[in-house]
């Protein structure tokens, strides 16, 4: 088969697609090309840690350090690909994007487990039932009997997770089994369904969520490597990406809460490996916040290396081959087409070996050359002579365009309760600064803890301290705003109502999905005028978060409404 003329390749590239369209690695989208050299011995170190954890159950951690764009997120995809390539691996990698705030970190971790490895429920439920099922004549193996036997071996906070796993694993009632599954997966359950299950907590609560995580790691037992071999633990590998985000976004207090939660997980949970992908320049500061038990189980750090020129060539060759095959075209004879060796060297020098910058520059320069906006000599300085000022101006123009593309491509956000709380409060602070600069700015405390009338510790999403009063703000722990929050909304309202009655704060605002209802919830809202509610749908939640993260967008109208309720202002929406 003869090679098509260059114009045939250019015609495809002029359609606006290139082999290098994705230069920001994301946890939710698989990377197609892997250049393993910058990771060094990371893969081997992870396997070694998994073997040690399998032998004694003691959890470990491995820090991965690198600059922005050095391949920290890509390292997750490489591990996941390795896992997929094994027939019966005794480990699974769970991607955990950094929580946007220090709110409900345990539930954030648990939600990631549910999303990435929902099959745990069948394995854990079966092993738990097998352990506590009576083997002697006359043993009470009813659901109540199993729950009673199993819960006697654990602290009180384990009761509801154990009960729901046993109901799911043994019940012949399909409706009840489905309800148990929904509770375990943190999905909406209405008040009557909740009462029929005979439980008293929701999975979003820290103690309940941590108990469930402990049960998962304890009873996630799979078949041995050979027939007849005893069961073995399947190790959870928690890959925490952008580990430094709470510190960068909200400061030392948020980072301290994040680290405290991880310290607690390490003390109480076995059979897992924590991989922390961290920016190199903040690692020493973060390291000092861990307690001694955590540090004692921390393995030697892995530092990602920059690309070599050979790595850049490997990346471009592999990307070209995959791209042209996907477009039903033979690979060009010149694998660098439409670039050349001089351009490749220039990309390497400009990017300083940074993987993200390498892909980004390759994409931009390819597009410019294909469109005719940029000649090869403008990049390399070869060809017709030009003065230094002209060459500098051309390079500055290219750099600005690259940076703009990066900003737009990198804006990735997750819509969850914690993220929406952060976005709401950030928007309120901005509106206060713009519209009422003469007033003292509201002080903010995320994940505010208080003691309720019944002497129990409760937590709300945030507390805004105003000059004359305190206002609590909370959202039920939900995965989406396009369906009812169920009983989670009732418990959220109950927390806020108790805080107001205990005079821990003066007023409270709760944000819930539009479709949320329930008699008990309505009764609380009607009986306490100091408790306000805002109802939003998924599209509004997405817009709230996006406008909080993108400085070029106007703040969402619903944030204006919330700000007016909190501050008792009448700011007009400026859309």
Domain residues for the domain of 362 are 6-21+307-409
Q: Which of the four pLDDT bands, split at 50, 70 and 90, describes residue 456? A: confident
Q: Which of the four pLDDT bands, split at 50, 70 and 90, describes residue 271? A: very high
184-207: pLDDT as tens digits:
998 877 777 887 888 888 888 889
**51 and 150 fall within a common domain:** yes
**239 and 384 fall within a common domain:** no
3-state secondary structure of 120: helix
Strand 235-241 to strand 272-279: parallel, antiparallel, or no bridges (unpaired)?
A: parallel
What's the pLDDT score for residue 375?
A: 61
Measured between alpha carbons, how far is 356 from 119 in angstroms, rounded to an integer? 34
**301 and 253 fall within a common domain:** yes
Query: Is 117 exposed, middle or buried, given 0-12, 13-18 or 19+ CB atoms closer than 10 A?
Result: middle
Instruction: Choose one of 393, 409, 425: the last residue of a domain.
Output: 409
Closest listed residue to residue 550, CA positions, set 430, 395, 388, 372: 430
Q: Looking at the 3D structure of the chain, how many domains does it have?
A: 3
What's the pLDDT score for residue 397?
A: 60
What's the pLDDT score for residue 411?
A: 43
Q: Note whether residue 572 is domain-resident.
A: no
Neighbouring C-alpha atoms within 13 Å toward the C-beta of 307: 28
Instruction: Choose one of 305, 333, 353: the last residue of a domain.
Output: 305
CA dihedral 253, 259, 260, 266 (to 10 degrees): 180
DSSP letter for 204, please: T
Instruction: Choose one of 273, 305, 337: the last residue of a domain.
Output: 305
- Please, which contacts does 155-162 make with residues 24 or more away whose CB atoms are closer than 8 Å? 155/211, 157/201, 157/207, 157/208, 157/210, 157/211, 158/211, 158/214, 158/215, 159/199, 160/199, 160/200, 160/201, 160/208, 161/203, 161/208, 161/211, 161/212, 161/215, 162/128, 162/215
**143 and 108 fall within a common domain:** yes
What's the pLDDT score for residue 24?
A: 45
Q: Which of the four pLDDT bands, split at 50, 70 and 90, describes residue 398? A: low
CA dihedral 155, 161, 164, 168 (to 10 degrees): -120
**316 and 458 fall within a common domain:** no
What's the pLDDT score for residue 407?
A: 47
**75 and 209 fall within a common domain:** yes
Q: Are 522 and 533 in contact (CB under 8 A)?
A: no
**391 and 422 fall within a common domain:** no
């Amino acid at each position: 088969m003869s090679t098509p003329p260059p114009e045939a390749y250019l015609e495809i590239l002029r359609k606006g697609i290139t082999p290098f369209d994705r230069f920001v690695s994301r946890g939710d989208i698989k990377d197609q090309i892997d250049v393993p050299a910058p990771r060094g011995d990371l893969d081997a170190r992870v396997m070694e840690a998994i073997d040690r954890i399998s032998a004694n159950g003691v959890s470990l951690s491995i820090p991965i350090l690198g600059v922005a764009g050095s391949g920290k997120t890509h390292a997750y995809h490489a591990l996941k690909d390795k896992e997929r390539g094994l027939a019966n691996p005794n480990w699974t990698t769970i991607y955990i994007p950094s929580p946007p705030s220090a709110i409900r970190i345990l539930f954030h971790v648990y939600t990631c487990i549910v999303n990435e490895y929902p099959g745990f429920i069948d394995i854990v439920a079966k092993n738990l039932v097998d352990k506590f099922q009576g083997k002697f004549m006359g043993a009470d193996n009813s659901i109540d009997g199993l729950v009673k036997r199993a819960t006697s071996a654990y602290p009180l906070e384990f009761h509801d997770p154990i009960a729901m796993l046993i109901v799911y694993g043994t019940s012949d009632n399909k409706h009840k089994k489905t309800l148990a599954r929904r509770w375990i997966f943190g999905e909406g359950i209405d008040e009557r369904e909740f009462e029929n299950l005979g439980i008293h907590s929701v999975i979003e609560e820290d103690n309940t969520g941590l108990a469930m995580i402990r049960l998962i790691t304890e009873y996630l037992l799979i078949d041995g490597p050979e027939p007849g071999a005893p069961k073995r633990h399947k190790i959870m590998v928690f890959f925490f990406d952008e580990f430094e985000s709470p510190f960068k976004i909200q400061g030392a207090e948020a980072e301290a809460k994040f680290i405290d939660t991880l310290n607690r997980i390490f003390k109480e949970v076995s059979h897992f490996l924590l991989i922390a992908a961290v920016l190199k320049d903040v690692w020493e500061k973060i390291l000092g916040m861990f307690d001694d038990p955590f540090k004692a189980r921390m393995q030697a750090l892995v530092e990602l290396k920059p690309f070599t020129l050979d790595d850049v060539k490997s990346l471009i060759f592999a990307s070209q081959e995959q791209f042209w095959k996907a477009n039903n075209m033979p690979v060009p004879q010149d694998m660098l087409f439409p670039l050349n060796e001089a351009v490749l060297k220039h990309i390497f020098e400009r990017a300083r070996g940074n993987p993200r910058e390498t892909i980004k520059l390759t994409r931009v320069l390819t597009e410019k050359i294909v469109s005719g906006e940029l000649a090869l000599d403008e990049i390399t300085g070869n060809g017709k002579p030009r003065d230094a000022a002209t060459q500098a101006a051309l390079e500055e123009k290219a750099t600005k365009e690259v940076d703009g593309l990066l900003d737009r491509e990198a804006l990735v956000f997750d819509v969850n309760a914690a993220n929406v709380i952060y976005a709401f409060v950030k928007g309120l602070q901005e509106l206060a600064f713009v519209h009422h600069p003469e007033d003292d700015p509201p002080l903010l405390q995320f994940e505010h803890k208080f003691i309720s009338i019944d002497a129990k510790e409760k937590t709300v999403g945030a507390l805004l301290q105003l000059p004359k009063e305190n206002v609590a703000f909370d959202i039920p722990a939900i995965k989406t705003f396009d369906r009812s929050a169920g009983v989670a909304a009732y418990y959220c309202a109950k927390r806020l109502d108790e805080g107001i009655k205990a005079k821990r704060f003066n007023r409270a605002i709760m944000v819930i999905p539009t479709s949320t209802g329930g008699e008990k919830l309505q009764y609380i809202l009607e009986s306490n005028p100091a408790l306000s509610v805002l109802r939003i749908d998924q599209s509004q939640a997405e817009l709230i978060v996006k406008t909080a993260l993108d400085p070029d967008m106007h703040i969402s109208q619903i944030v204006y409404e919330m700000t007016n309720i909190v501050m008792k202002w009448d700011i007009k929406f400026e859309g």
